Amino acid sequence: MKKLINDPADVVAESLRGFAAAHADLVRVNADPAYVVRADAPVSGKVGILSGGGSGHEPMHGGFVGRGMLDVACPGEVFTSPTPDQMLEATKAVDGGAGVLHIVKNYTGDILNFEMAADLAREEGIEVEAVITNDDVAVQDSLYTAGRRGVGVTVLAEKIVGAAAEEGKDLAAVAELCRRVNAEGRTMGMALTSCTVPAAGKPTFELGESEMEIGIGIHGEPGRERVPLASAKEIVERLAGPVIDDLPFASGDRVLAFVNGMGGTPQIELYLVYNELKQLLDGRGITIERNLVGSYITSLEMAGCSITLLRLDDELIRLWDAPVLTAGLRWGA
Amino acid sequence: MKKLINDPADVVAESLRGFAAAHADLVRVNADPAYVVRADAPVSGKVGILSGGGSGHEPMHGGFVGRGMLDVACPGEVFTSPTPDQMLEATKAVDGGAGVLHIVKNYTGDILNFEMAADLAREEGIEVEAVITNDDVAVQDSLYTAGRRGVGVTVLAEKIVGAAAEEGKDLAAVAELCRRVNAEGRTMGMALTSCTVPAAGKPTFELGESEMEIGIGIHGEPGRERVPLASAKEIVERLAGPVIDDLPFASGDRVLAFVNGMGGTPQIELYLVYNELKQLLDGRGITIERNLVGSYITSLEMAGCSITLLRLDDELIRLWDAPVLTAGLRWGA
Amino acid sequence: MSDGAITVEEVVAWLRDFAAVMAQEKDALTALDAAIGDGDHGINMDRGMRAVMERVDAATPADVPALMKTVGMALISKVGGAAGPLYGTLFLQFGSAAGPDGLTPDGWAACLAAGVAGVRARGKAELEDKTMVDALQPAADAVGAALGEGASFADALARGADAAEEGARATIPLVARKGRASYLGERSAGHQDPGATSSAHLVRCAARTWAA
Amino acid sequence: MSDGAITVEEVVAWLRDFAAVMAQEKDALTALDAAIGDGDHGINMDRGMRAVMERVDAATPADVPALMKTVGMALISKVGGAAGPLYGTLFLQFGSAAGPDGLTPDGWAACLAAGVAGVRARGKAELEDKTMVDALQPAADAVGAALGEGASFADALARGADAAEEGARATIPLVARKGRASYLGERSAGHQDPGATSSAHLVRCAARTWAA
Ligand SMILES: Nc1ncnc2c1ncn2[C@@H]1O[C@H](COP(=O)(O)OP(=O)(O)O)[C@@H](O)[C@H]1O
Ligand SMILES: Nc1ncnc2c1ncn2[C@@H]1O[C@H](COP(=O)(O)OP(=O)(O)O)[C@@H](O)[C@H]1O
Ligand SMILES: [Mg+2]
Ligand SMILES: [Mg+2]
Ligand SMILES: [Mg+2]
Ligand SMILES: [Mg+2]
């Protein structure tokens, strides 16, 4: 295992310590239970926005804590949901009296832990709403399964919902907006290489030199199918096609196009993918109104990418453009 | 070779096309000769700041074009210096009458091509100054050799010098500032894995599962020595030690600490490295006044990191903090 | 041991054995999870059971309900993921069902059944969804049935452990409908479920603890 | 061919042969550069010589100076890196030295010497710095000396090519003092310099063009 780490057991804690030191102007980091909270939390009268999940997806979620986005993030162990007591403390830390929104990616572990946390918080008199993101079209949706994974749309939802909360919208409105963003967005991802969970010490899966995985999630899990390596153009077709067909996105739609790197993919490739995506969307009459290209929701050092499309309207554009001041996303501030 | 690309010969051009489409609000991209230029260039009366070098180091340099940093960047082929005619066109595109500064990393190829370009530009009546960055302490400095490579300090110099140019400083002052930043900064890097030049199709070097290269540059070249894999703590000592001793940085110094990822290293590791660096500097009485943690000067998908320290004074801090609005670095705007 | 009252010490011994097995099987469980999940189940269970034993060894609760509350809360606050709340609930419900007045083999069987019901309520998994339920439910059923047929506690637990292991093995051909493995769709078939495997270990540890 | 005037067509044939060799040796040169540089020398030279032949084939300049200016400018604008300006300068200076009035073998030798001097002026490399100079300078010296001793052009070029190849091989033990390889310090020893190798090919191609 080739990583810049010390003891695998300490990766999350030591990395958080570095993050805290690097961004002391934006956040405070509580070590135990672990959470990353806005330096000025709780903001009185503002809905608190909490998200969390396993570590290894950086900058998500700690890198999105700050003005205009998250109030607090709960990092779990690598690829492992954080725990209810941790979420409870984080919820308390950002309750400014207007309640707290939990943004939860749809994984059994996350759901179960967040459910427990919300129960505990409500017992302590804090109003909590939970919204589940489940935008991964690689997974068949069904009432009888765990449903779709929450992936790329989570980042976009956190930005947009964070802006709405900053404007003073109330908990119900913010939760409703979050559901709407989730409903309007779809994602699909692929991997060129596996990643290695530090505590496991070896790659989660093995991929041949001329193979790739299509339909992966963000936890180093294998995808829906293993296929021969293809050109960026074909890969974009394989990802964007199902994304477009699922919502479906139609000619005339205005979208935010998000090309996300999985952690080990250099920018030169991500922009090349964006170039292919732009051509494909142009051909379908879909207009890219906003874009995001970079590694924002990652799987450790995995090489690969995901493509997320979010259908926009004027309100979503305005909220996307609103100032954001976090370690991972920053504009207008 | 596992990359998100089409034909290896088209990587740079296609990626630039994607970059142009994604950041049309900030830059224009000229295809042939290739350069990335501020959307509002030339800015009349402002010194133009040009940098350039091989591609594969993204976001450097194209990602640093915009208000408060570079006016124009010339991307060469992957790891290959751009050419004089390209630099000449780029120089002309940003000459607002106050002359143009060429920021050149110290590589024979870059130096030779930039020398030719400066000659050509001067023949056309444009005032040009060139400053060479050469901050890599892994390389022995000597009059009789090609000297030290320009690496991490280049990013910091481009930001600081860009701010000074934005303030209206003249060409001589801006060049002088750039030399000062270069003189006050030192860098050393290491690799966990090699990278693969698309046109070559295979890794530039092979590293065993428990080996690393210390003292690498940014072109996938082997480093000064191959040693057994070590902990992040030891790696930071091996990088920061020589950096500190070389300037030397002394107790009481205020510095900008820059932990840079080589392209394939996830953020969780970079912040862990920053944590180690902070402790080491604390122990030496060196104060981190500013920091930058992320992948800013990369070698394609190489895993590894470099550590740069820049000694700060109040003026450098003010210029570092000044607004910058580029695809790769953005604050205060 | 006899078929009489079950002591806190015995329950602790069971947990200690389970913790040891989780440490030992850590890589194997993680490998199972790598095939159809995210490769952390062994790591999660080992981390959780270490935390459990630390807390239990620091101050062993006086009765089984208190003990199991400590165990459940330790798992919930230290494991995360799906296994944390699910195993946490298993032990919490086990403890709630135990009551303060000592535990008989029948009581133990009822506690396990309550724990399994808790897991099912929390995770909403049915049999054959390819989860820990596929090991736990047959085990609880087998232990109850054996005691009903007059088997000794040791024999009943042995039959429970057999049933759990068979249930775990039977997850191999199944297509997962719950948990992370469900994201793989058809590709989840052909691999044994990691949670069912750890659950089978849990029951086997009980059989070993109360054997002979 | 005779030892008489050298034609533009012959020079083009030389360049075409060099372009073919660069295409063929692309991977080998790149592998040499990967060992002590950045692994692009073969790619650079191939890209450059393709561009050269495209321009030359589109409109072959009438005389050697014009031809070599086209070649040098094509390399400078298409290669980048160290090789672009250095090979560009080599051909530009070769062309400047040629003059418009046709080229004799002695003239050719003088042009090569001028080209090599240009390379040295631009790159500031001395002999034994482990660069293309280590192939080019011995070649230019050998061709000049051979012609001075009355050798035929073909023989002189063959001796030049031998000297260039020997010079390239002699770079193996050297520690680089110029170019990227110098960053490796002692580790650069033990590998043949890629630029010296491509330069030796250039001279060998000349020997082949004007042989017999
Ligand atoms: N809804 C569920 N009900 C019961 N058990 C489940 C459910 N979802 C997952 N599991 C069990 O959890 C196990 C995975 O646990 P673990 O790997 O520790 O958590 P995670 O999936 O969050 O990484 C699965 O093998 C399965 O047995
Ligand atoms: N200062 C110099 N003088 C002469 N030749 C040089 C000099 N620096 C480098 N070279 C030659 O250039 C070759 C490398 O060329 P190439 O790989 O194409 O460029 P780069 O080093 O920019 O990647 C070296 O092998 C060496 O022969
Ligand atoms: Mg997990
Ligand atoms: Mg090069
Ligand atoms: Mg798991
Ligand atoms: Mg090279």
Following DSSP, what letter does each residue of B6-68 receive, concatenated? SSGGGHHHHHHHHHHHHTTTTEEEETTTTEEEETT-S-TTSPEEEEEEEESSTTTTGGGBEET
Instruction: Report the C-alpha gap between B79 and B197 in whole angstroms.
Output: 8
Q: Residue D193 has which token pair?
A: 């310099």
Contacts of D77 in chain B (CB under 8 A): 33, 83-86
ipTM of the complex: 0.91
Q: Does A119 touch chain C (CB under 8 A)?
A: no
- Rounded to a whole number, what is the distance in Å from the CA of C40 to chain A's nearest CA? 7
Contacts of C44 in chain A (CB under 8 A): 77, 80
Q: Which of 85-104 (C) contact A at CB < 8 A?
A: 85-86
The average pLDDT across A4-15 equals 97
- Residue type (1 letter), A325: L
Position A200 scores a pLDDT of: 86
Q: Residue B298 has which token pair?
A: 């990369």
Q: What CATH number does domain D8-209 carry, 3.50.50.60, 3.90.660.10, 1.10.8.60, 1.25.40.340?
A: 1.25.40.340
Specify whether the CB–CB gap between D164 and D197 falls below 8 A: no
Specify the pairing of strand A324-326 against strand B27-30: unpaired
Q: Does C13 touch chain A (CB under 8 A)?
A: no
The average pLDDT across D172-200 equals 94
Position D2 scores a pLDDT of: 43
Position C185 scores a pLDDT of: 86
Distances (CA, A) of C119 to A61, A143, C26, C86, C192: 29, 19, 22, 5, 19
The answer to whether the Cβ–Cβ distance between C177 and A204 falls below 8 Å is no
How many B×D Cβ pairs under 8 Å? 120
For the ranges A132-146, A313-327, B256-270, C108-122, the lowest mean pLDDT is seen at: A132-146
Name which residue sits closest to atom 16 of ligand 1, judged by CA. Answer: C41
Taking only the tens place, the pLDDT of each residue in A80-104 is 999 999 999 999 999 999 999 999 9
Please indicate whether residue A219 is annotated as part of the active site.
Answer: yes
Question: Which of C80, C123, C184 is opposite residue A222, by nearest beta carbon?
Answer: C184
CATH level 2 (architecture), domain A185-311: 2-Layer Sandwich (3.30)
φ, ψ for residue A47, nearest 5 deg: -65, 130
Contacts of A84 in chain C (CB under 8 A): 76-77, 85
CA nearest neighbour of B18 among A235, A288, A275, A270: A275
C82 ligand 1 Cβ < 6 A = yes
* A251 compared with B140, residue with greater pLDDT: A251
Taking only the tens place, the pLDDT of each residue in B234-266 is 999 999 999 999 999 999 999 999 999 999 999
Instruction: Report the C-alpha gap between C178 and C85 in whole angstroms.
Output: 15
Do at least 3 CB pairs under 8 Å connect C with B?
no
CA B266, distance to chain mean position in Å, is: 19
Specify whether the CB–CB gap between A12 and A78 falls below 8 A: yes
Q: Which of 187-226 (B) contact A at CB < 8 A?
A: 192-193, 209, 212
| Ligand 5 centroid, distance to C81 Cα (angstroms) | 7
Which phi-psi region, left, alpha or beta, contains residue C63 (left: φ > 0; alpha: ψ -120 to 50)?
beta
The answer to whether the Cβ–Cβ distance between D44 and B84 falls below 8 Å is no
* D40 compared with A129, residue with greater pLDDT: A129
The answer to whether the Cβ–Cβ distance between C43 and A197 falls below 8 Å is yes
Instruction: Report the C-alpha gap between D58 and A10 in whole angstroms.
Output: 64
Position A238 scores a pLDDT of: 98
Taking only the tens place, the pLDDT of each residue in B271-320 is 999 999 999 999 999 999 999 999 999 999 999 999 999 999 999 999 99
Query: What residues form DSSP beta bridges with B257?
Result: B291, B309
Position D102 scores a pLDDT of: 84
DSSP states of A164-187:
HHHTT--HHHHHHHHHHHHHHEEE
Taking only the tens place, the pLDDT of each residue in B2-52 is 999 999 999 999 999 999 999 999 999 999 999 999 999 999 999 999 999
Please indicate whether residue B219 is annotated as part of the active site.
Answer: yes
Specify whether the CB–CB gap between B173 and B166 falls below 8 A: no
Which segments of chain B belong to CATH 3.40.50.10440? Answer: 10-183
Q: Does A75 touch chain C (CB under 8 A)?
A: no
- Whether C212 has a pLDDT exceeding 80, the answer reads no
C42 ligand 1 Cβ < 6 A = no
- Rounded to a whole number, what is the distance in Å from the CA of A134 to chain C's nearest CA? 12
- Residue type (1 letter), A95: D
- Whether A204 has a pLDDT exceeding 90, the answer reads no
Instruction: Report the C-alpha gap between B178 and B325 in whole angstroms.
Output: 20
CA C131, distance to chain mean position in Å, is: 12
- Whether B144 has a pLDDT exceeding 90, the answer reads no
Q: Which of A23, A57, A61, A102 is catalytic?
A: A57
Which segments of chain B belong to CATH 3.30.1180.20? Answer: 185-311
Contacts of B317 in chain A (CB under 8 A): none
Kindly state the percentage of chain A with pLDDT values over 90.
94
Position D184 scores a pLDDT of: 87
Do at least 3 CB pairs under 8 Å connect D with A?
no
- Rounded to a whole number, what is the distance in Å from the CA of C182 to chain A's nearest CA? 7
Contacts of B107 in chain D (CB under 8 A): 82, 180
Number of Cβ within a 10 Å radius of residue B330: 20
Neighbours of chain B (3+ CB pairs under 8 A): A, D
Dihedral over alpha carbons C151, C155, C159, C160 (to 10 degrees) = 90
Instruction: Report the C-alpha gap between C147 and C154 in whole angstroms.
Output: 10
Nearest CA in chain A to B55: A268
Position D212 scores a pLDDT of: 64
Q: Does B4 touch chain A (CB under 8 A)?
A: yes
Q: Does A167 touch chain C (CB under 8 A)?
A: no
Angle at B45 between CA B41 and CA B46, to 5 degrees: 60
Q: Which residue has the tokens 């895993």?
A: B303
Ligand 2 mutation target, pool B108, B144, B204, B219, most atoms within 8 A of CB: B108
Q: What is the SS3 string spanning B98-164? A: CCEEEEEECCHHHHHHHHHHHHHHHHCCCCEEEEEECCECCCCCCCCCCCCCCCCHHHHHHHHHHHH
Name which residue sits closest to atom 25 of ligand 1, judged by CA. Answer: C195
Which atom of ligand 1 lies nearest, measured to the CA of C33? 17
Q: What is the CA radius of gyration of chain B?
A: 19
**Please, which residues have CB less than 5 A from ligand 4, an ion?**
B 79-80; D 38, 40, 81
Whether omega for the bond prior to residue B228 falls within 30 degrees of 0, making it cis, is no
Query: What residues form DSSP beta bridges with A29?
Result: A36
Ligand nearest to the CA of C34: 5
Taking only the tens place, the pLDDT of each residue in D57-101 is 999 999 999 999 999 999 999 998 999 999 999 999 999 999 878
Which are the contacts of A133, defined by CB distance < 8 A and separation ≥ 6? A103, A104, A105, A106, A150, A151, A153, A154, A157, A182
Position C5 scores a pLDDT of: 86
Q: How buried is D99 (Cβ within 10 angstroms: 0-12 exposed, 13-18 middle, 19+ buried)?
A: middle
Q: Residue D207 has which token pair?
A: 């020997």
D120 ligand 2 Cβ < 6 A = no
Q: Which three-class secondary structure state does DSSP give residue B224?
A: coil
**H-helix or E-strand spanning residue D11:** helix D8-36
Contacts of B293 in chain A (CB under 8 A): 18, 22
Question: Which of C30, C39, C81 is opposite residue A109, by nearest beta carbon?
Answer: C81
For chain D, what is the mean pLDDT?
94
Position B52 scores a pLDDT of: 97
Q: What is the CA radius of gyration of chain C?
A: 16
Ligand 1 mutation target, pool C26, C29, C180, most atoms within 8 A of CB: C180
* C212 compared with B58, residue with greater pLDDT: B58
> Which DSSP state fits C176?
P
Specify whether the CB–CB gap between B68 and B47 falls below 8 A: no
Q: Which of A23, A61, A102, A219 is catalytic?
A: A219
Do at least 3 CB pairs under 8 Å connect B with D?
yes
Taking only the tens place, the pLDDT of each residue in B201-234 is 999 888 999 999 999 999 988 788 999 999 999 9
* D101 compared with A33, residue with greater pLDDT: A33
Contacts of A296 in chain B (CB under 8 A): none
Half-sphere exposure for B77 (CA within 13 Å, toward CB): 26
Instruction: Report the C-alpha gap between B196 and B2 in whole angstroms.
Output: 9
Distances (CA, A) of A164 to A99, A128, A179, B245: 14, 17, 13, 50
| Ligand 1 centroid, distance to C83 Cα (angstroms) | 5
The average pLDDT across A30-54 equals 97
Taking only the tens place, the pLDDT of each residue in C172-200 is 999 999 998 988 888 999 999 999 999 99
Alpha helix (H) ranges present in A197-266? 232-246
Taking only the tens place, the pLDDT of each residue in D143-164 is 999 999 999 999 999 999 999 9
Structural domain boundaries in chain D:
8-209
| Ligand 6 centroid, distance to D47 Cα (angstroms) | 13
Q: For the structural domain made of A10-183, what CATH number should be given? A: 3.40.50.10440
Query: What residues form DSSP beta bridges with A255?
Result: A288, A311
| Ligand 1 centroid, distance to C171 Cα (angstroms) | 13
Taking only the tens place, the pLDDT of each residue in B93-113 is 999 999 999 999 999 999 999
Specify whether the CB–CB gap between B33 and B76 falls below 8 A: no
Taking only the tens place, the pLDDT of each residue in D123-148 is 999 999 999 999 999 999 999 999 99
- Whether D3 has a pLDDT exceeding 50, the answer reads no
